[in-house]
Structure 1
Amino acid sequence: MTSRVILISPAITAALREARFDDGCPLDDSGLRQARAAAGTLPAADRAWVSPTVRCRETADALGIDAVDAAELAGLDAGRWRGATLAEVSEQEPEALARWLSDPGAASHGGESVRALCGRVATWLETAARAPGRCVAVVEPEIVRAAVVQALGAPESAFWRTDVPPLAAVELSGRSGRWNVRLGRPLGATD
């Protein structure tokens, strides 16, 4: 049995434009317009999930995806850095930021480590792999990164080496614990 998982990153928001840790901001006008324009470009899915964030929910709605909130697909908990820009954190806590970016087990911000996030996403992927057919999930970029790391069997340190553009699809297909990865197809692009 082959399982197919399409992970879609959310459309652009002010937080993404400003390199700011998610603070619950909605899609901006440009992001909403792009998501609506991509509606109907995804193949039919047997199941659909969404990260429980404003930008993921709004992206799913704009794409016309009737998705169920999935707590296990929540974005990385940035702890006290939530809402701060990367530049602000770099200025105020340079050692903590450097440790977080270099050590997958570090949770310098008081939130979740990359290792914990990768483990959570790996568990979700195992569950998704047991169901036949295709599923779609509109998820935070860090969820896509963690899924790619898991699918490729890459070390957790590869997490930061994976760029996830807004409103892109990453497709995983696999069986028996072995995944193939198709990276970064912009929504609306044809095969």
Structure 2
Amino acid sequence: MYKDDPKFTMMFESKIFNINGDRLKEGDEPLRYYSLTNMSEYHMSRHLAASAQNMYSAAGITPTVINSICDQMIQAVNDKKIVDVAVLANNLKYRTKYPVDEHATLRMAMIYSIVEREDPDKCENHWTEWKLKRILDEPEAYSFFLPIGLELTPAYSEYLQEVSLNSLNQRKTMLESMQPSTSEQK
């Protein structure tokens, strides 16, 4: 569909997934990610989605994670586990101090990539999440799209030189350590 359209440039061809997002088998057409050759030709819905994603990226957190942490904090207050509330508050603070989040970065790259069957004149969250799931399961795609997402995320522009797989892993490890303990607290 987009392969022969000069407005589109193929960015990446999956070696793991077919056009439907299932495991690639012999004879299947591979999943291909395209971009518009001219950035100004993206539909306004994609620019709006990118702007919203950038706001969350600047905070170092996505709406899903914010809601999850808030739910945990509310439960901790209800359970009178004030230490857990403090741990979760520190988690939020850490995210704003070190905002570069790999999923937010990859999500930005997916906003500006288009796959077969996806309408280029709409930016629908289910497609962004569908693509994100595939690239998280394909190391080569992950490595390909991570720097693209970094470049497309204005909130991360000052971090371009210092972000690496190692720094993202360190951030992930630190955030994992900033979770309430599972043992019973008094």
TM-score by length of 1: 0.30
Higher share of residues assigned helix = 2
Higher share of residues assigned strand = 1
Larger radius of gyration: 2
Q: Which has the higher contact order (CA 8 A, sep 6+)?
A: 1
TM-score by length of 2: 0.30
